[in-house]
Structures are given as C-alpha cells and as structure tokens.
C-alpha cells in the first residue's frame, strides 16, 4: 500500500535526511507558488543541493509532491494522536479532541493548505494512498465520537457518527481554506468554542 519512492542512493539514513531537506524546501515553495509553478531546480536549490542530487532521491517531480503530502499527513496524524492520547472522560474527551485537532491544523496551516490544494496532481496510485490517510483521520475522530456516545454523554445515532466526524474534519480545513474570512472574525479559541457549541447544541431551535 505504502508506495515507497525508489532512490538511486543506498544509505537509508542519507535518504531520510535528504528527503527531509527536500520536503521542507518544497513545502516552502509550494506554499508560495503552488506545485505547478515551482520548478525542480528551485526545489533543489531551496533544499540546499544540486538538481543532480535531487534526482538521486526521486524519479520525478510528482514523487516530490507525494513525499510532501505523505510527510504532512504523517505529521498531522502524529500530532493529533499525541494530543488525543489523554485520559479525558465524558464530554470533555470530545471537546478536547476537537480543540486539539483545530490547534494542529492551525499550527500547520500552510502545509495543510498546500496538501489539500495540490494532492489532486498526484498520479492516481499515489492519490489513492493519500486519500487512504484521510480515511484514517476520519476514523480517529469517529472513534472519539463513538466513545463519547458509549459513555452516554452524547446522543448520536449511527449514521450521524460518520457525518459528524467529516464535519469536524472539514471545519478544521475551513480554518485554513477560508482564513481570509474566518480568521478576520474569530480567534482560534473563539472559533473552537463556537464550533463545539454548535456541534453539541445546534442552533437550538424551538422544539417542534
């Protein structure tokens, strides 16, 4: 499943190090001008080595995009997992999870933005792999919701679980994608609180 990008260089340590440089450089450039407007030479330069060296560690420009997306997902997931790893109980578990997720997205705004904007340019197979990561993310959130439901602190029928998970995920993306609007009106804290309030109580309309 994990499509490992072939390299002409043998030393795994070196591969890791160089690819980290490369991803870091590429992200910076992709954020600035997007994947298509960034040249391989620019990536090499920004990464601190020559174009020849770049191609010792990848086969094509698309490989770089893949490495970038993979790296970003990995980091988002790791950070999220780290924050979810608490012993919160009750409704707090969900609240903290949402807050943690929004915080992670906030901290990695540019990266997340790039990934969601450029992933579509991945070759089919690589795209599938990356989308799979998105599924995993969804499942992590679903898991939290289900646990809260099991504890009885929220009432949510089965179909809703998946939907709510997606909603939360997308509200995270929204924080970056619509930042030019949203971040003008809300601090991250306010945004988080409001979304949680909305999530738990809805718009609280008169009972029908």
Partner DNA sequence: AATGAATGAGGCTTCATTCAT
Partner DNA sequence: GATGAATGAAGCCTCATTCAT
Find the shortest distance in angstroms from Cβ 20 to a copy of itself.
26
11: three-class secondary structure by DSSP: coil
Task: Report how many residues bind DNA under the rule CB under 7 A.
Answer: 22
Binding mask 56-95 for DNA (x = CB under 7 A): x--xxxx---------------------------------
Q: Considering only CA atoms, give the Rg of the chain.
A: 20
- Answer for which of 40, 138, 160, 193 binds DNA (CB under 7 A) is 40
User: Using CB under 8 A, which residues numbered 75 to 134 contact a copy of itself?
Assistant: 91, 117, 120-121, 131, 134
* Among the residue ranges 17-25, 56-64, 68-76, 190-198, the one whose residues contact a copy of itself (CB under 8 A): 190-198
197 part of the interface to a copy of itself, by CB under 8 A: yes
> Phi and psi for 89 in degrees, rounded to 5?
-125, 165
Give the total residue count for the chain: 208
CB nearer a copy of itself, residue 20 or residue 123: 123
Q: How far apart are CA 25 and CA 66, in angstroms?
A: 14
Cα–Cα distance measured from residue 134 to residue 200, given in angstroms and rounded to the nearest whole number: 24
Residue 16 binding DNA, by CB under 7 A: no
Which partner in a copy of itself, DNA, none is near 56 (CB below 5 to 8 A by kind)? DNA
* CB 121 within 8 Å of CB 35: yes
Exactly one of 32, 34, 51, 197 binds DNA (CB under 7 A); which one? Answer: 51
**How far, in Å, CA of 142 to CA of 150, rounded?**
12
Q: What 8-state DSSP symbol labels residue 34?
A: -
CB neighbours of 152 closer than 8 A, spacing ≥ 6? Answer: none
Name the residues that contact DNA, by CB under 7 A. 8-11, 14, 18, 37-41, 49-53, 55-56, 59-62
């Amino acid at each position: 499943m994990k499509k490992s990008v072939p390299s002409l260089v043998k030393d795994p340590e070196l591969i890791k190090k160089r690819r980290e440089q490369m991803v870091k450089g590429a992200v910076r450039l992709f954020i600035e001008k997007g994947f298509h407007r960034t040249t391989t030479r620019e990536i090499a330069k920004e990464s601190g080595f020559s174009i020849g060296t770049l191609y010792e560690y990848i086969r094509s420009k698309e490989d770089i995009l893949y490495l970038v997306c993979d790296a970003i997902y990995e980091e988002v997931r790791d950070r999220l997992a780290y924050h979810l790893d608490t012993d919160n109980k009750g409704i707090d578990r969900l609240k903290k999870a949402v807050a943690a997720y929004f915080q992670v997205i906030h901290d990695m705004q540019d990266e997340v933005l790039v990934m969601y904007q450029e992933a579509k340019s991945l070759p089919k197979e690589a795209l599938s792999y990356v989308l799979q990561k998105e599924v995993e993310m969804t499942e992590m959130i679903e898991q939290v919701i289900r646990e809260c439901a099991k504890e009885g602190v929220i009432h949510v029928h089965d179909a809703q679980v998946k939907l709510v998970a997606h909603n939360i995920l997308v509200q995270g993306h929204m924080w970056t994608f619509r930042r030019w609007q949203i971040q003008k009106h809300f601090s991250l804290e306010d945004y988080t609180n409001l979304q949680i309030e909305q999530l738990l109580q809805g718009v609280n309309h008169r009972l029908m």
